[in-house]
Amino acid sequence: MNNIELLTVFMLAVFVGFEVISKVSTILHTPLMSGANAIHGIILVGAILITGVASTGVELGLGLAAVVLATANMVGGFVVTDRMLEMFKGRRPGRDAGQAGMKEGAR
Amino acid sequence: MSNGVLFAYFVTALCFILALKGLSSPKYARYGNLIGAFGAALAVVVTLTLHGLGHRLPIIIAIVVGTLIAVPAARLVKMTEIPQMVAMFNGVGGAAAALVSLNEYVKQHAVDSGGVAAAVVFSGIVGSVSFTGSLVTFAKLQGIMTGRPIVLPAARVVTPVVALASLGLGIAGIALTSVPLVVVCAVLALLLGVLFVLPVGGADVPVVISLLNAFTGLTVAASGYVLQNTLLIVAGTLVGASGTLLTQLMAQAMGRPLTGILFGAFAGPTTAG
């Protein structure tokens, strides 16, 4: 793709990024931050692509380091976000945390 | 890349938009996160099955290692320690994005496009700031260091000087197509990340984590530009934009202007900390 097309994609993504979260409620600030954090773990795809064409030992080493770090970002990010949202369920009125926890465990 | 792979990347980008949308509503937050995880897994699997991908086995082993580190860390961490865990994941993501860009730069050496070289320097600086900045926020929240704002005696002078030196070296690195200069620029940016977060008080740290999160998003977008990969550009930009807005919303919710959170310690006694 040429630069103008990439710039167009960039511009549209900026506005979409602003729009989709503009109505977030205050209690969801931290999970949203964590979820967005997991999403940028997609750099793993870049790390795989770059490691796949590594031709020297240095490139391979740096690439594999990037793969490990990016995996930790992505996998850890989604898991920890899920845990946070699980906790939210327990906090809902009319249902105590223990019950909600048991329900989660039974699934 | 074949059309099939590009289509899978498109689906992943769509999943990420839906994930952010879901995460901003209490009802669908959990589904949003799952959709995001699905999209990410799809993109990774498709990339791993690419025809002609070298070093496949070491890459898969590296992914397994990363997973084995991250899953127990994310599952076993105490609820109260989750924010610093998020900071840590964000930091390593920033480091990964900076490594990807620098690696591509080392490979191409004399990058023929000024735009690509600029993106390499951008992701080198911002990714490094995000990495060490996140480590400092982790240390503050974990109680490894004091949560109070730390203002070094000459911070008012040193921080801008380090920032300008890093930027200058980066520009020189582009102009001279020199790999060592760009590497030194990124290393200086590691120091900048520490100096950037030290003056922030403990209560304000989550806002800074969100800001560094947006930084990492932009780093990923820049790496996507270096690799000419649309998925990375879209995902990184989405996080960069939504993260910036979220940072402002968080600061608003705390009733403090963002500039006060970041630079308040320089102005005198601070209320937070």
A104 has pLDDT over 80: no
Identify the pLDDT of residue A100: 42
Tens digit of each residue's pLDDT (9 = 90 or more) over B5-56: 999 999 999 999 999 999 999 999 999 999 999 999 999 999 999 988 989 9
CB of B15 less than 8 A from some CB of A: no
Asked whether residue A46 is domain-assigned, the answer is no
Reported as a pLDDT band with limits 50, 70 and 90, residue B234 is very high
Asked whether residue A63 is domain-assigned, the answer is yes
Structural domain total, chain A: 1
Q: What is the pTM of this model?
A: 0.90
Query: Domain of A61?
Result: 56-85
Joined together, the tokens standing for residue B200 give: 């922030």
CB contacts under 8 A, B 210-249 vs A, are 210, 213, 216-217, 219-221, 223-225, 227-243, 245-246, 249
CB pairs under 8 A between A and B: 342
Identify the pLDDT of residue B263: 84
Asked whether residue A23 is domain-assigned, the answer is no
Asked whether residue A66 is domain-assigned, the answer is yes
Tens digit of each residue's pLDDT (9 = 90 or more) over B174-222: 888 788 898 999 999 999 999 999 999 888 999 999 999 999 999 999 9
Picking from B24, B96, B249, the nearest residue to A66 by CB comes out as: B96
Tell me whether residues A14 and B229 touch, CB distance under 8 A: no
Could you give the percent of chain A with pLDDT greater than 90? 68
Asked whether residue A16 is domain-assigned, the answer is no
Identify the pLDDT of residue B213: 96
CB-CB contact of A80 with A34 (8 Å): yes
Least confident of A22-26, A78-82, A91-95, B60-64: A91-95
Asked whether residue A79 is domain-assigned, the answer is yes
Asked whether residue A72 is domain-assigned, the answer is yes
Asked whether residue A96 is domain-assigned, the answer is no
How much is the average pLDDT of B117-135? 94
Could you give the percent of chain B with pLDDT greater than 70? 96
